[in-house]
């Protein structure tokens, strides 16, 4: 079963969420920070530790992008990858040499010769 439509919807939703957050940041920076070319509050006002809200919001956007990328990686992977298949784990009984079983491996052939 293909997971592509679900992955596309999730990716689009996360993209729209980040775009809205970024647009809000730009709108506040453009229209709420300066009055007559002079910093008058908004992102220019001090937040804490000598940093302005512009720095805090900018780093928050960067960290938010990383969080969204991790969320996408967690939720967009196919369900088949989440559950380990027995054949892929190496516990397969069809090849005794993989487990070191002497009855089925090359050593058994030498001892029977």
In a domain, 94, yes or no: no
Alpha helices for 32-77 (secondary structure H)? 53-76
pLDDT digits (tens, 9 = 90+) for 37-49: 776 777 777 788 8
In a domain, 105, yes or no: no
Share of the chain above pLDDT 90, in %: 23
User: pTM here?
Assistant: 0.59
Q: b/e for 60-77, b at 16 or more Cβ within 10 A? A: eeeeeeeebeeebeeebe
Domain that holds residue 67: 4-82
Mean pLDDT value of segment 75-104 = 58
Most confident of 25-29, 36-40, 69-73: 69-73
> Is 93 within a domain?
no
**46-48 and 51-52 as β-strands: parallel, antiparallel, unpaired?**
antiparallel
Residue 99 inside a domain? The answer is: no
63 occurs within a structural domain: yes
Domain total in the chain: 1
- Is residue 103 included in any domain, yes or no? no
């Amino acid at each position: 079963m293909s997971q592509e439509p679900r992955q596309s919807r999730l990716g689009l939703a996360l993209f729209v969420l980040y775009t809205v957050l970024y647009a809000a940041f730009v709108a506040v920076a453009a229209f709420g920070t300066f009055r007559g070319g002079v910093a008058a509050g908004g992102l220019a006002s001090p937040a804490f530790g000598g940093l302005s809200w512009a720095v805090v919001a900018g780093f928050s956007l960067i960290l938010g992008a990383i969080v969204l990328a991790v969320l996408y990686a967690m939720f967009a992977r196919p369900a088949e990858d989440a559950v380990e298949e027995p054949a892929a784990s190496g516990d397969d009984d069809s090849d005794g040499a993989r487990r070191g079983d002497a009855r089925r491996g090359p050593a058994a052939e030498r001892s029977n010769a």
